[in-house]
Structure 1
Amino acid sequence: MIPRQGALEVLLQFLERNLRNNKIGTLRIDDIMRMARLVLDTNIFAYENKYYRQIRGGAMGSAFTQTLANIYMLDWEQQLMHDQQADQEIDGRYIDDVFMTTNLTHDQIKIRLDNAHREDPNIRISYSIQSTIDFLDVTVNNEHSHLKTSIFHKSAAEPSVLPYTSDHPRHVFRNIPYAALLRAARICSNVEDFDMERIRIDLSLLLNEYPPSFISKHFHRFFEINQTMAVFERLDSQVYYQLHQQLLHKPTRREQQLQQATGDIDVLPEVLQRKKPWDSNVMYVKYNFESGPRLAFQRDFRTWWKKHFAYKGSNVEHVQLKFAVKTNYTLEDMFIRKKPPSAMLKRKPTNVLQQAT
């Protein structure tokens, strides 16, 4: 529910402060501001055979609204960030959740937060001051001036993952144990918490009908890839600390793309949206996965391809096959309608345009 005019003013200041040559690619600041106003002022949607136009704030779930709110929040938190940097403290924010450390007294930090609360009438904050805080999916505990982190589990969350009997390609199931261990090793700062989380992951997979041999195999794969296989059965604190630091600071694929683009902000959109060039030596085969007759589709297709097309001396002998597996439609895809009827979208709104807040 951020104010539109105030958000646009903050956006303009942000662009002028951060853009080189006042452009992103070929877009000038004026072009960006014109599109921003267009998005905010023409947010019209249909509900129960009536049209509505949003006159306050922005559409929830819109990528532009989220970015604009993030920039607005960045402007709002400048004083807090300045105070934290002056005190050499930690300050972090994810959308509208803020985490801070402090050595001030309880009354002093309350005064600082109350001042931030009064800074903007459109932003209302609630805060908790404790030595142990749950921030997103992390529990942060201050133990004698040392921060200890572990995974935070909501009490209402159930140990559910994709059931092993689900009709999904095999690589989907292989990635689940690996990704769960990777998350645990990144978040848990000591080996005891990591071991407890590993047991929790193991039990969750067993409850969702994953075979014990499958779980053990991919647990071993995680430690093999990260070169800690020799101590898989029992991690000591020093070895785990090295593993934790290695994975904690390892950039993701998205972070690597951003790092490559930091040298020139003008090429950022181009880098993030760049597609691989077409390669005539590679053919992608797309098919819907099924655990029945099509389970052997890749093997049978390769045999057929080699026999009738890629035989020795043929023009396509050098072509490499890569399979792009698609998951079948779920009940949600089939039963949930996310758009109004096409006839309603084509009809021009006249007197049925309503205003909504």
Structure 2
Amino acid sequence: RNLYTMLPQEEALNILVEFLNVHGYTKVKGIPLETIRLLASIVLKENVFVYGKIIYQQILGGAMGSSFTLTLANIFMWKWQKKLVRRQDMTREYYGREYIIENANTWHPNIKLEYKIGKSLPFLDILLTNINGTLSTSVYHKPAAESYVVPFISDHPRHVFEKIVQTNLRRAIKYSSTFQSFNDERRYIKSTFLYNGYPSTFIDKIFRKNFSGYISSRSFLSFIDNEDQFLHMRIALSGQPSRQQSQVEMRIATLTTDSDHLIEELDKKQEFPIQEKTNPNQFQNKLIIHYTHEKRFNTRKRDLHRIFEQTFANTPILETKLIVGNRNQKSTMKELIRKRPRKAILKNKPKANENRKKRHHQLHPKNQRNNNPIRNKHRHHLHP
């Protein structure tokens, strides 16, 4: 079960108010607890979704992608764990005992803890495996998880698809402690993206781009086929120092050099930090709202200011200056003419024949002179 979708809404809201009261809050940034509960109720209960052309409203739990649901779930478990902690104080028993967990699962119908004992255990998105006393890690996929990512036909920029593939590939490199587990995850990644409409050439291109520093440029494969290359890439990606780097760092640490004067100079530099000049933000503590001017919106500015003052009365939000402005409705001429044409376009162009004659005269000036009938006539009289 997922905790976020199993939270009882009214009980969770009551625990939220109790949590604030226990920690001495009567207001949070000037907002009363009743208002906080009302706002939290709107965020929690006003969630709808469409399935099978039918609109449903969520009546249990909260939205999965909401940061408020995460905070509310932690506060809800704060209340639940208080009873468990009191039981541990009385019995002086550890949390991990099986019958304690089984007993705790009877306290609330929606909160069920799971325990697992074996050679492999999942922790978040990592699978830990004990192989003859050696721990290995790999990427963990929930059994109910579907092979779904952002479809390639979705309206996203191209770099978004590339980053999604890179993120999955980097996670596979970091989490896979063996070359075999990495290859298994690499095949899973490629099949997942192929299932979601990603072209095979696009996936191979990103694979080759990420592995470019570790595979030969003459290789026709778009992935690593050598365990040493994989280990070298994993060390470089995880930021862990290699064996040679560790030895160098140990030698540097054991050197006894007189570096007191360097420390003093560093302290002097830190005593006088250079303060960069920053231009003041002219829009700080200002809320600007624009709307298109129409006759029926004549009182819109006054109404917005009145609602703003009534809603946030006696709160620090009133320190923010509300600016309401309007835009004029564009006329038909402005809608049709977006940009003024260049001056070169507005000038009259010379006729094509005149341009052709000028160009011909520039290219053949002698022929133009010899073909002149007047010049030929005078030449005939001078030389009969």
- For the aligned pair, the TM-score class normalised by the smaller chain equals 0.3 to 0.5
Of the two structures, which has the highest relative contact order with CA contacts closer than 8 Å and spacing of 6 or more? Answer: 1
TM-score scaled by length of structure 1: 0.44
TM-score scaled by length of structure 2: 0.42
Structure with a larger share of its residues in strand:
1
